[in-house]
Amino acid sequence: MDYSNSDNNVEEDESLAEEVCKISYEALLKARDMIKPGVKFLDVAEATESYVKDKGYEIAFPLNLSINNEAAHYTPSYMDDKVFGEKDLIKVDFGAAKDGYLGDCALTVDLSGEYGKLVDATKEALENAVSIVKAGRKVQDIGKVINDTFDKLGFRPIENLGGHGVKLHELHAEPFIPNYDNGDDTLLEEGTRIAIEPFATLKQSRGLVTETDVAEIYSFSENIAPRLPAARNVLNKIIDKYPSEPFAVRWLSEGIKSKFELYSGIRELEKVGAIDSYPVLAEVSHGMVAQTEFELLVEKDSCKVLTKV
Q: Is 286 a residue of the active site?
A: no
Q: Which of 104, 159, 170, 268 is catalytic?
A: 104
Distance CA 185, CA 49 (A): 38
Q: Is 99 a residue of the active site?
A: no
Distance CA 87, CA 102 (A): 32
Give 278's contacts (C-beta < 8 A, 6+ positions apart): 1, 2, 3, 73, 215, 217, 218, 219, 246
Q: Is 73 a residue of the active site?
A: no
Q: Is 2 a residue of the active site?
A: no
Q: Is 164 a residue of the active site?
A: yes
Q: DSSP labels for 215-247?
A: --EEEE------SSHHHHHHHHHHHHH-SSS-E
Q: In Å, how far are 68, 259, 273, 290, 306 from 83, measured between CA atoms? A: 14, 19, 32, 19, 31
- Contact in structure between 130 and 93 (CB atoms under 8 Å): no
- Contact in structure between 192 and 137 (CB atoms under 8 Å): no
Q: Is 240 a residue of the active site?
A: no
Distance CA 61, CA 248 (A): 8
Q: Which of 49, 93, 124, 216 is catalytic?
A: 93
- Give 188's DSSP letter: P
Q: Which of 18, 49, 124, 197 is catalytic?
A: 197
Q: Which of 26, 70, 164, 268 is catalytic?
A: 164
Q: Which of 124, 172, 283, 295 is catalytic?
A: 172
Backbone angles phi, psi at 132, to 5 degrees: -110, 0
Nearest to 43 by CA among 55, 31, 26: 31
Nearest to 106 by CA among 128, 74, 83: 74
- Which residues does the annotation mark as catalytic? 93, 104, 164, 172, 197, 293
